[in-house]
Structure 1
Amino acid sequence: MDNWENQRRDWRDYLILSGKGVMMGAADAVPGVSGGTIAFMTGIYEELIGSLKRCGPEAVQVLFKEGIGPTWRYVNGPFLLTLLLGILFSVTTFARGVLFLLANYPEMLWSFFFGLILASSWLVARQIEDWRGNAFTAFLTGTVLAYMVTSIAPAAVEPTSLMVFFSGMIAICAMILPGISGSFILLLLGMYAPILGAVKSMDIPVLALFAVGCVIGLLSFSRVLNWMFASYRVTTLALLGGFMLGSLNKVWPWKYTTAYTINRHGEEVPLVQENILPGSYEIMTGQNAYLSISLALMVLGAILVIVLARSAGTKPSQG
Structure 2
Amino acid sequence: MNRKNYLSLLLKGCAMGMADVVPGVSGGTIAFISGIYEELIGSIRSIDATALRLLLRLRFAEFWRRINGGFLLAVAAGIGISIFSLARLMTLLLESYPIPTWSFFFGLIVASALLVSRSVGRWNAASCAALAAGIAAAWWITEVTPAETPDTWWFVMLSGAIAICAMILPGISGAFILLLLGKYQYILQAVGDLNLPVLLLFGCGAVAGLLSFSHVLSWLLRRCHDATVAVLMGFMIGSLNKVWPWKETVSTYLDSHGRPQPLVEDNVLPAAYRAMTGDDAHLAAAVALCAAGFLSIWAVERIGDAVRARRERR
TM-score over 0.5 (shorter chain): yes
Match of 1:3 in 2: none
Change (3 A) 1:72 1:87: same
- Does residue 1:59 correspond to 2:51, yes or no? yes
Task: Give the paired residue count.
Answer: 295
Q: Percent identity?
A: 35
Structure-to-structure mapping, 1:168-179, within 5 angstroms: 168-177=157-166, 178=172
- Does residue 1:20 correspond to 2:15, yes or no? yes
Task: Provide the C-alpha distance between the structure 1 equivalents of 2:88 and 2:224, rounded to a whole number of angstroms.
Answer: 38
Match of 2:26 in 1: 38
Q: Deviations over 1:32-62 (max 9, x none)?
A: x36xx52254353964555434323243357
Match of 1:98 in 2: 90
Equivalent of 2:266, from 269, 274, 286? 274
- For 1:241, the aligned partner's letter is M
Match of 2:169 in 1: none
- Does residue 1:252 correspond to 2:240, yes or no? no
Residue 69 (structure 1) shift: 6.1
Match of 2:289 in 1: 297
Equivalent of 1:89, from 72, 81, 91? 81
- Does residue 1:136 correspond to 2:128, yes or no? yes
Match of 1:236 in 2: 228
Match of 2:102 in 1: 110
- For 2:19, the aligned partner's letter is M
Contact 1:170 1:217 in 2 (8 A): no
User: Which blocks of at least 5 consecutive residues in structure 2 are unaligned?
Assistant: 167-171
Contact 1:309 1:315 in 2 (8 A): no
Task: Provide the C-alpha distance between the structure 1 equivalents of 2:259 and 2:127, rounded to a whole number of angstroms.
Answer: 45
- TM-score scaled by structure 1? 0.78
Task: Provide the C-alpha distance between the structure 1 equivalents of 2:17 and 2:122, rounded to a whole number of angstroms.
Answer: 35
Task: Provide the C-alpha distance between the structure 2 equivalents of 1:238 and 1:87, rounded to a whole number of angstroms.
Answer: 28
Contact 1:43 1:309 in 2 (8 A): no
Contact 1:49 1:226 in 2 (8 A): no
Contact 2:149 2:181 in 1 (8 A): no
User: Which blocks of at least 5 consecutive residues in structure 1 are unaligned?
Assistant: 1-8, 28-32
Structure scoring higher RCO (CA < 8 A, sep ≥ 6) equals 1
Q: CA RMSD in A?
A: 3.4
Change (3 A) 1:74 1:113: farther
Paired residue secondary structure (1:184) = helix
Paired residue secondary structure (1:259) = strand
More helix by share: 2
